[in-house]
Amino acid sequence: MGLDRLDDPDYPSIAMGEAAHVLDVEPAFLRSLDSAGIVTPHRSAGGHRRYSRRQLEHAARLRELLDDGHSLESASCIDQLRSDLSTSESRLLEAYAEVDRLRREIDDLSRHPKV
């Protein structure tokens, strides 16, 4: 496993101070997301917060929405809706691809019927 974990977007490898620095926010912002239960970091054995890349991406999106004037509650809701929409779009594309595959299979069967 070792260094491969660093490629995992869910691996909690970033300490609070570094996370705040990377996002250009105060640590208090990250603590507020944790207190609100919106971004819950992993805790080390010593109780220190550790963030994953995915959590930092989420926090960055929330920060942008907050900077645009949204409340934390509405920012969280907007981010969740955007995520749900992206997931739905991906699933729809997969469904279209499956429909296309099945159409090709039907066409092949109609051109070369098995007797």
76 contacts 62 by C-beta, under 8 angstroms: yes
pTM score: 0.77
Residue 16 contacts residue 30 (beta carbons within 8 Å): yes
- CATH code of domain 2-90: 1.10.1660.10
Domain ranges for the chain = 2-90
Distance CA 99, CA 96 (A): 5
Q: Is 51 strand, coil or helix?
A: strand
Residues 26 and 114: their CA atoms lie apart, in Å, by 68
- pLDDT, tens only, 67-98: 999 999 999 999 999 999 999 999 999 999 99
